[in-house]
Amino acid sequence: MMNYIWVALAVVAVIAGGVTGTMDAVLNNIFEFAETAVDIALGLIGIMAFFCGLMKVMEQAGLCDKLGRAIAPVMRLLFPDVPADHPANSAMALYFAANILGIGNAATPFGLKAMQELQTLNPTKSIATNAQCMLMAISTTSITLIPVTAIALRASVQTEGSAEIIAPVIIATTISTVTGVFFTIVFQKVKRWKWENVIEKEIAAGTLEINEDYIGDNPIVLPEGYHSVYENDKKVSW
């Protein structure tokens, strides 16, 4: 869907530039922001590498497990399907901590690690579990106590008053997180979006794919004679 949106935006921009006679400006902006995108991506490499390495050190030192146990009561409420000793708990703990501090770039590798660990508890390849949906809801609405990145950007422009956004950010993100968690729980119980019902629909449509890396205790048993619509695609793939 996002691919279609980006293509549509590009097409609209080109058409608007041709109609208004500002095609030169459109082309200049395309090249200018292409360069900006590369600068941003290269700038993130160092941050991603640092925090990925930091997480590895914390794992080897046992700090991830300790942090996971410290917030275990909250994790059990939000993620009841995730075993207490599963590595996803420590990864999610670090992810939430980085988000709370407003360090979005640092949170990214932790979030990816957490989602990878949760996928080992997902018996399917492409249908998100309740735990994965909850993680996504919290990540997009996360409570932020100290918006470090936002404060740094404001301070680069005007030092005085750069931290006065802390209180509004705490209030806004608290409301957004409570709302996100609430509606995630509600939708998980609605018949149409209930995980078990979605699985049944996918099996009936022949679009369910089993996750070979699943390590949980409740694997999905496909009905006898089940035929996936993707099998034909695999046969003709190069």
Residue 205 makes CB contacts below 8 A (sequence gap 6+) with 229
User: pLDDT at position 237, please?
Assistant: 46
User: pLDDT at position 157, please?
Assistant: 64
pLDDT under 70: residue ranges of the chain: 1, 40-41, 43-48, 50-52, 54-55, 58-59, 64-65, 67-68, 101-106, 148-149, 152-153, 155-159, 230-238
* Joined tokens for residue 88: 């996803």
User: pLDDT at position 37, please?
Assistant: 75
Q: Show the CA angle centred on residue 210, arms to residues 220 and 140, nearest 5°.
A: 95
User: pLDDT at position 177, please?
Assistant: 92
Q: Whole-structure pTM over 0.75, yes or no?
A: no
